[in-house]
Structure 1
Amino acid sequence: MAGIARASWDYREDVPIPLTLGVPHRPDPNALVAGLLQPFCADAPAVQAAPRAADYGPPVVLASTLLTLPPTENLGRIVVRLDIDPDELRASSAGNYEAVRFEVDAVPEHLADALGLRLPSPLVVFPVFDAIDVAETAETIVAAHRTPGIGVGDTARRIADVLAVVSHADVGLVARADTGDEVIAILAATVASLRGDDIASALAAPNVDALRKLIPEAAEAVREVLLGVEIADAVAARARLVDVGLIASGTSTT
């Protein structure tokens, strides 16, 4: 993945035209973030109101919320945040849905238990990094074939350590953000990690123009690392991405 990514960071004006392949694809300002924003739903009304357009990924729903929904409720594709015992969820007749991923928060003393969970879909583990080695923890998660998660509001050093691990793995990363600007920051940081640039600088001052100019192959390489960004107000985050030109203003929002 790193080799592919590193070979595709050129922007439109720098890309040669291979005679055997024809004209390269034009950069798509929406390709980098299409399906990346994942609305976090804290309760049943939020689940029902979650935006479902192409710009949004599957909403993140608390497992405890699923228990409150009738079996006839069709939620489609979702991410399940485990705030209850998975066995309790399995034993229920919760609403009709397809869990594309599960996720769990894990303090250090429960990390091994979290990594040992047996689930029907991939698992994202958001470890509590306080007083533990961040890179070592990320490596442990990756070695267990799980996906690490981290909040964009965490320290630049921790984010850099996690990105340094996942940029050379095949499990990806899921981030949690509070604002559209944080979404932009983690996109820029992911690009920096793949290019070998300074991640802290990318987080502090994202180069939005460079993000807009990424060719499709480069955008795909970023998406292979950054699987999703969970955010409560995904609509506002999308509006911010429209403002800076990462999403075309004329695309659908519902």
Structure 2
Amino acid sequence: MATLLNLQPPAPREQQPPFAALLAETCADAAAVRDRNRDPIFGPPLLAASALDGTDLDSGPLWLRLDVALDALPQDLPELTRIEVDCPLEHLDDAVALAEGDPRPLPARLAVRVDPDGAGRGWAAESSERIAAAGAHPVLVAGRDAHDVADFLAVLAHSAVGFVAHAADTREVVAVLAATVAALTGDDIPAAFRAADPAPVAALSSAAAEAVREILVAIAVPAGAGIEADLRELGITADLGAR
């Protein structure tokens, strides 16, 4: 396998295995957050802002999806890792402004999920470049066309901001990981994404896996899908003990 194009060693991740806290369980409500999967592959869960019920979640930080008006957010928010917004491509200027603190600074870094709505080739590169330049995380949806994924990753492989992803199942998680590896090694990104071969990902050294995590911050997945067990069986997270 080609050598990862990583000129500087990544920052330490508190001595944890590289893929610790890779996944984010998507929770339907506050009760699901409290009862979420505690496997070490899971980091902060994803919850819609409309599902905040005002009670103490006692769960640590959250990845919050902003599905209500910004002014409707409660004053007493839990600790947040990021705030995600859905953004039609034609409203990208508004999302970039929000990332830059207009109309007011956000309590956490913004993540922007763009809906291209039939846009032609090139939208993924242009939008992700603008989002990353504003200091926000572009969001990669694993169900996109392989060439759009390649355009997206060609930008993010050279960005210090990193990205987050959404995946529906184990295959999509592996596809995102494999495509990210290809982006860092200079390999064929669309081919790696389509093949979703776990072998190159499982074969990564710890240093190479750390380089992947420098740009792939987290992947949101459905609750109860068993993806953590699948990744362990595939050898990708064999160093993470099950709980």
Q: TM-score under structure 1 normalisation?
A: 0.81
Q: Report the Cα offset of residue 150 of structure 1.
A: 1.7
Q: Out of 106, 110, 115, which is 1:119 matched to?
A: 106
Matched residue, 1:247: 237
Runs of 4+ deviating beyond 3 Å: none
In structure 2, relative to structure 1, the CA distance for the partners of 1:74 and 1:202 (3 Å cut) is same
Q: Which runs of 5+ in 1 are unaligned?
A: 9-29
For the residues of structure 2 that align with 1:119 and 1:234, how far apart are their CA atoms? Answer: 31
Matched residue, 1:168: 158
Write the mapping of 1:81-160 to structure 2, written as runs, cut at 5 A.
81-91=65-75, 93=76, 97-117=78-98, 118-130=105-117, 131=119, 133-160=123-150
Matched residue, 2:5: 6
Q: Report the Cα offset of residue 116 of structure 1.
A: 1.9
Q: Report the Cα offset of residue 5 of structure 1.
A: 3.7
Q: Out of 10, 15, 31, which is 1:45 matched to?
A: 31
For the residues of structure 2 that align with 1:206 and 1:184, how far apart are their CA atoms? Answer: 5
For the residues of structure 1 that align with 2:133 and 2:6, how far apart are their CA atoms? Answer: 26
For the residues of structure 1 that align with 2:60 and 2:240, how far apart are their CA atoms? Answer: 26
1:86-124 residue CA offsets vs partner (Å, 9 max, x unmatched): 221144x45xx2101111110123222222223121111
Q: Report the Cα offset of residue 234 of structure 1.
A: 5.6
Q: Does 1:61 align with 2:61?
A: no
Asked whether the 8 Å contact 1:134–1:162 carries over to 2, the reply is yes
Identity %: 39
Write the mapping of 1:205-224 to structure 2, written as runs, cut at 5 A.
205-224=195-214
For the residues of structure 1 that align with 2:28 and 2:80, how far apart are their CA atoms? Answer: 17
Q: Does 1:74 align with 2:58?
A: yes
Asked whether the 8 Å contact 1:181–1:240 carries over to 2, the reply is no
In structure 2, relative to structure 1, the CA distance for the partners of 1:227 and 1:51 (3 Å cut) is same
For the residues of structure 1 that align with 2:23 and 2:81, how far apart are their CA atoms? Answer: 15
In structure 2, relative to structure 1, the CA distance for the partners of 1:185 and 1:32 (3 Å cut) is farther
SS in 2 for 1:245: coil
When structure 1 is superposed on structure 2, of 114-123 and 175-184 the one drifting more is 114-123
Asked whether the 8 Å contact 1:211–1:246 carries over to 2, the reply is yes
1:147-168 residue CA offsets vs partner (Å, 9 max, x unmatched): 1002111110111111000110
SS in 1 for 2:79: strand
What is the number of residues matched between the two proteins? Answer: 225
Q: TM-score under structure 2 normalisation?
A: 0.85
In structure 2, relative to structure 1, the CA distance for the partners of 1:90 and 1:5 (3 Å cut) is farther
CA RMSD in angstroms, aligned pairs only: 2.2
Q: Report the Cα offset of residue 205 of structure 1.
A: 1.6
For the residues of structure 2 that align with 1:7 and 1:111, how far apart are their CA atoms? Answer: 30
Matched residue, 2:194: 204
For the residues of structure 2 that align with 1:46 and 1:124, how far apart are their CA atoms? Answer: 22
Greater relative contact order structure (CA < 8 Å, 6+ sep): 1
When structure 1 is superposed on structure 2, of 191-200 and 133-142 the one drifting more is 133-142
In the alignment, residue 140 of structure 2 is paired with which amino acid? I
Matched residue, 2:183: 193
Asked whether the 8 Å contact 1:51–1:235 carries over to 2, the reply is no
Q: Does 1:226 align with 2:216?
A: yes
For the residues of structure 2 that align with 1:110 and 1:150, how far apart are their CA atoms? Answer: 17
SS in 2 for 1:38: strand
Asked whether the 8 Å contact 2:136–2:161 carries over to 1, the reply is yes
SS in 2 for 1:106: strand
Q: Report the Cα offset of residue 7 of structure 1.
A: 5.3
